[in-house]
Amino acid sequence: MAIRSRSVVTIADVARACGVGTMTVSRVINGKKHVSPEMVQRVEEAIARLNYQPNEAARTLKGRTSRTIGLIVPSLSDPFFSQCAHAVQQVAAEQGYMTMLFACEANRNVEAEELSQMRSRNIAGILIVPSSENSLEQLQELRRNGMPVVMIDRTFAGIDVGEVMVENIEGALRATNHLIDHGHQRILCVGYDREYNSISQRIDGFKKAVQNASLQPQYLLVNRGVAIGPRVIAALRSPKPPTAIFTLNNVTSVAVLTALKREEIRIPQQVAIIGFDDFDLASLLAVPLTAVRQPAAELGRHATRMLIDSLRVGNGTGRMPSRIVLPTELIVRQSCGCEPISRIPHSK
Amino acid sequence: MAIRSRSVVTIADVARACGVGTMTVSRVINGKKHVSPEMVQRVEEAIARLNYQPNEAARTLKGRTSRTIGLIVPSLSDPFFSQCAHAVQQVAAEQGYMTMLFACEANRNVEAEELSQMRSRNIAGILIVPSSENSLEQLQELRRNGMPVVMIDRTFAGIDVGEVMVENIEGALRATNHLIDHGHQRILCVGYDREYNSISQRIDGFKKAVQNASLQPQYLLVNRGVAIGPRVIAALRSPKPPTAIFTLNNVTSVAVLTALKREEIRIPQQVAIIGFDDFDLASLLAVPLTAVRQPAAELGRHATRMLIDSLRVGNGTGRMPSRIVLPTELIVRQSCGCEPISRIPHSK
DNA sequence: TGCCAATGTGATATCGTTCTCAAAATCGCT
DNA sequence: AGCGATTTTGAGAACGATATCACATTGGCA
């Protein structure tokens, strides 16, 4: 025979304990004006004594918006996303917001379902690393209803959301140039097909660098789900094989490295490699990987601040004009053929 | 002049559209009995047409509990935790629960703050990888009020929460034995001091194996915040240096590997190493790391199921009797001195 | 036929908070 | 002293959903 007693202390209890009305207590809690100092003290004492905590559900119901932001990422197994999520959660917490976490596994249905959940839960705003164009319409609908939205890492055209990106073109350009500087003439760009504009931009950067050097760009772009390793090996066994590889993201780098290891192809002697997206263990690899570092945590931080700012000023229906683009950094290690030296910060 | 219109459609709107009372609509939504089939159809149509979604805040306020679980992890940068978090989120979503994510950075104040947030948000239950004993009292208080709690990876005595652990003792024993089988006589156990019982158990397993072989256990246990790399190097330069190292967790392994690399100490020739806790890139390292694999995702899955089960049956005030212990697996690679062979599954 | 049970439906109270508005008290100024 | 302006306070109505209870309507069965 369970007696449910969770969170029994209500604002009314506090009010009664002080012999005042609930409104007075409410005003004290919310730091409003028009309360006498002594009253503030008396109420605060009672709150502490009774261990009172406001019921967020009631507040949300009344105020129409919870102090909660939703974060949708494709997955947490990719350190890029988990670092980003981590930063989001931290900044949000600092600002008094909770983070509702969603990992959609790049599944459009899941993403859609999650967005719909957001609506019913009076989420204050949405941070999303969008996985597919399919949710676009739903996001637009949410925007129309005044929901602030910030896209991280990737964006889609035609929707007025906040955007926090990295300098993909410049980063890819810089990386490719580095390979060219090493004397490579046949460079293979490996990754998933132009799913997102971030990937597109990286491909564009690669192309630009290669063409600037009057070389022929080579591509190996596959669809999600296709094993990329064997394709790379095949390319390396073709008549005029690439002497260097530029991988478009984290998972691609790992896939390629794994394949190269299995086939015992030596880096950088037989093939050099630079990856877009750095990761913690890159320096401990058999051949430490030269990589374009994306400031994952920074991305998350900026996005969260942007979102919360727009929450504060506007009532949500305002536009989301902002766009932040963060620089990348080329971390030179040995997979490109360099002796390990230094970091080359990247600026325009 | 913004007109706020978010989520205007209420249950009353649906009721009006059907010319019925709100209770009828509510009954349809919640699949209760006592509604005629035609009415169900009519209401469901209206719901779809109006794109109605129930307001969770209102439901929570009335029902006293939200369909939301809280997850507290020390950090997301450790892949062990992020994999775990990922699994939690997935299982929860399948069961219709949302996941509120918290990363406490092993900061006791943050953890406390987060727990108190949980209370005010009518969280249905808590999953926690506890960071310190400090929150124990608070957790106990929550338990007393009927909040289901499941601890993951670590537990503390004297509190009746659900527990999902791995076989730490057996895993450490197995790993240490493997080193002993390689002929090592002086094995150093490296890690952070007995902060958690999971670490304690690993140390116990190590000790047991070493003593079974009539060897002297050697320890290098530091407090959090102390750089572990230099200490290891110092130990290796002592008169009778260890010939093998057993690291107690992920971050320790990485710290040690980094130090060994910097000092150009060769693995496994100069020192062999086995780590507790495997990670994705372990096989791509300069010397692929032999490690005890913990089923991080499984841990998260089991914990989530346990929590949600206890949510369903009890009204929360029941006891949380369960304890699940999952097996580990020794992944043999080359850092132990083996040629790369196979996985040795671990069973009692 | 009469009566109890089961079914379908809606009016109303309630959850805990904040908003609106009005009343009371205080102050400043002519 | 008089009067408007300001501060301090509280009563009551929301917010949107569900629980409770009451009221019809049906059906089964003696």
pLDDT at residue A185, rounded to an integer: 96
What residues of chain B lie within 8 A of the CB of A60, using their CB?
A: 57
> In this structure, are B232 and B286 located in the same domain?
yes
pLDDT at residue B115, rounded to an integer: 85
A243 pLDDT exceeds 60? yes
B 47-66: CB under 8 A from A: 53-58, 60-61, 64-66
Which residues does nucleic strand D approach, with CB less than 7 A?
Answer: A 19-24, 27, 33-36, 39, 58, 61-62, 64; B 7-8, 10-12, 22-23, 26, 29-30, 52-55, 58-59, 61-63
A6 pLDDT exceeds 70? no
Half-sphere exposure of B111 (CA within 13 A, CB side): 22
> Alpha-carbon distance A276 to A254, whole Å?
11
A143-150: average pLDDT: 88
> In this structure, are B191 and B339 located in the same domain?
yes
CA gyration radius for chain A?
26
Q: How far is CA B90 from the centre of its chain?
A: 13
> In this structure, are A160 and A177 located in the same domain?
no
Q: How far is CA B28 from the centre of its chain?
A: 38
> In this structure, are A176 and A290 located in the same domain?
yes
Which pLDDT tens digit goes with each residue over A8-45? 799 999 999 999 999 999 999 998 778 888 889 999 99
What residues of chain A lie within 8 A of the CB of B146, using their CB?
A: 2, 4-6
Q: Are strands A329-331 and A290-293 parallel, antiparallel or unpaired?
A: antiparallel
CATH code of the domain covering residue A27: 1.10.260.40
- Listing DSSP states for A168-180 in one string gives HHHHHHHHHHHHH
Q: Are strands A162-166 and A323-326 parallel, antiparallel or unpaired?
A: parallel
Q: Which nucleotide is nearest to B52 (CA to C1')?
A: D16
> Alpha-carbon distance A130 to A61, whole Å?
29
> Alpha-carbon distance B212 to A167, whole Å?
58
Highest mean pLDDT among A18-22, A65-69, A101-105: A18-22
> In this structure, are B335 and B222 located in the same domain?
yes
Domain span holding position B35: 11-54
- Contact between B280 and B221 under an 8 Å Cβ cutoff? The reply is no
Strand partners, A67: none
- Contact between B156 and B136 under an 8 Å Cβ cutoff? The reply is yes
What one-letter code names the amino acid at B140? Q
CATH code of the domain covering residue A308: 3.40.50.2300
> Alpha-carbon distance B163 to B323, whole Å?
5
> In this structure, are B210 and B128 located in the same domain?
no
> Alpha-carbon distance B23 to B12, whole Å?
9
User: CB-based contacts of A234: which residues, under 8 Å, 6+ apart?
Assistant: none
- Closest B-chain CA to A54: B120
> Alpha-carbon distance A131 to A75, whole Å?
10
Which two three-digit tokens encode residue A47?
Answer: 């709150």
> Alpha-carbon distance B120 to A73, whole Å?
26
pLDDT at residue A119, rounded to an integer: 86
Which pLDDT tens digit goes with each residue over B237-292? 999 999 999 999 999 999 999 999 999 999 999 999 999 999 989 999 999 999 99
> In this structure, are A180 and A291 located in the same domain?
yes
Min Cα separation B20/chain A (Å): 23
pLDDT at residue A5, rounded to an integer: 44
> In this structure, are A132 and A215 located in the same domain?
no
> In this structure, are A216 and A236 located in the same domain?
yes
- In this structure, what are the phi and psi dihedrals at residue B263, rounded to the nearest 5 degrees? -85, 0
In a domain, residue A60? The reply is: no
In a domain, residue A183? The reply is: yes
- In this structure, what are the phi and psi dihedrals at residue B73, rounded to the nearest 5 degrees? -125, 155
CB pairs under 8 A between A and B: 189
A344 pLDDT exceeds 60? no
User: CB-based contacts of A324: which residues, under 8 Å, 6+ apart?
Assistant: A163, A164, A165, A302, A303, A306
How far from B220 is each of A198, B185, B202, B207, B227, CA to CA, in Å? Answer: 45, 16, 13, 13, 12
How far from A139 is each of A143, A147, B97, CA to CA, in Å? Answer: 6, 9, 22
pLDDT at residue B6, rounded to an integer: 45
Please tell me chain B's helix, strand, coil percentages from 3-state DSSP, rounded to the nearest 5: 45, 15, 40
In a domain, residue A59? The reply is: no
What residues of chain B lie within 8 A of the CB of A113, using their CB?
A: 93
- Closest A-chain CA to B296: A77
In a domain, residue B222? The reply is: yes
A 140-169: CB under 8 A from B: 145-147
DSSP state of B285: B
- Contact between B170 and B201 under an 8 Å Cβ cutoff? The reply is no
Half-sphere exposure of A256 (CA within 13 A, CB side): 32
- Closest B-chain CA to A317: B2
> Hey, are the CB atoms on B103 and A86 less than 8 Å from each other?
yes
pLDDT at residue A16, rounded to an integer: 92
Min Cα separation B47/chain A (Å): 14
Q: How far is CA B309 from the centre of its chain?
A: 18
In a domain, residue A80? The reply is: yes
End-to-end CA distance of chain B: 69
A346 pLDDT exceeds 60? no
Buried b (16+ CB within 10 A) or exposed e, A137-164: ebbbebbeebbbbbbbbbbbeebebbbb
> Hey, are the CB atoms on B76 and A82 less than 8 Å from each other?
yes
Which residues does nucleic strand C approach, with CB less than 7 A?
Answer: A 7-8, 10-12, 22-23, 26, 29-30, 52-55, 58-59, 61-63; B 19-24, 27, 33-36, 39, 58, 61-62
pLDDT tens digits, chain B, 348 residues: what are they? 233 344 479 999 999 999 999 999 999 999 877 888 889 999 999 999 999 999 999 999 998 788 899 999 988 888 899 999 999 999 998 888 989 888 887 677 778 888 888 888 889 999 999 887 778 888 888 888 888 999 999 998 888 899 999 999 999 999 999 999 999 999 999 999 887 899 999 999 999 999 999 999 999 999 988 999 999 999 999 999 999 999 999 999 999 999 999 999 999 999 999 999 999 899 999 999 999 999 999 999 999 999 998 887 654 445 556 899 999 999 999 999 987 544 455 543
pLDDT at residue A224, rounded to an integer: 85
What residues of chain B lie within 8 A of the CB of A96, using their CB?
A: none
Taking CA A94 as the corner, what is the angle to CA B224 and CA A122, rounded to the nearest 5 degrees? 130
Length of chain A: 348
pLDDT at residue B317, rounded to an integer: 46
In a domain, residue B1? The reply is: no
How far from B67 is each of A85, A286, A344, CA to CA, in Å? Answer: 22, 46, 48
Which pLDDT tens digit goes with each residue over A168-219? 999 999 999 999 999 999 999 999 988 789 999 999 999 999 999 999 999 9
In a domain, residue A1? The reply is: no
User: CB-based contacts of B161: which residues, under 8 Å, 6+ apart?
Assistant: B139, B143, B149, B150, B151, B155, B320
> Alpha-carbon distance B18 to B21, whole Å?
8
> In this structure, are B74 and B114 located in the same domain?
yes
DSSP state of A31: T
> Hey, are the CB atoms on A83 and B102 less than 8 Å from each other?
no
pLDDT at residue A150, rounded to an integer: 95
C-alpha closest to that of B66 among A344, A98, A55 = A55
Taking CA A229 as the corner, what is the angle to CA A223 and CA A232, rounded to the nearest 5 degrees? 90
How far from B241 is each of B9, B214, B233, B348, CA to CA, in Å? Answer: 72, 18, 10, 32
Provide the H-helix boundaries in B95-135.
108-120
> In this structure, are A162 and A175 located in the same domain?
no
> Alpha-carbon distance B152 to B84, whole Å?
9
Q: Strand runs (DSSP E) across chain A, as ranges?
A: 68-73, 98-103, 125-128, 149-152, 162-166, 187-192, 218-222, 244-247, 272-276, 290-293, 323-326, 329-331, 343-345
- A283 touching chain B per CB within 8 A: yes
Q: Which nucleotide is nearest to A43 (CA to C1')?
A: D9
In a domain, residue B268? The reply is: yes
Q: How many domains does chain A have?
A: 3
* Helix (H) or strand (E) run with residue B207 in it: helix B197-212
What one-letter code names the amino acid at B16? R
Which pLDDT tens digit goes with each residue over B298-341? 999 999 999 998 887 654 445 556 899 999 999 999 999 987 54
Q: Would you place residue A313 in the very low, low, confident or very high pLDDT band (cuts 50, 70, 90)?
A: low
Which two three-digit tokens encode residue A239?
Answer: 């008549």
A77-85: average pLDDT: 90
What one-letter code names the amino acid at B40? V
- In this structure, what are the phi and psi dihedrals at residue B285, rounded to the nearest 5 degrees? -70, 165
> In this structure, are B271 and B196 located in the same domain?
yes
Which pLDDT tens digit goes with each residue over A244-303? 999 999 999 999 999 999 999 999 999 999 999 999 899 999 999 999 999 999 999 999
What residues of chain A lie within 8 A of the CB of B286, using their CB?
A: 284-286
- B192 touching chain A per CB within 8 A: no
CA B47, B53, B56, B58 dihedral sign is: negative
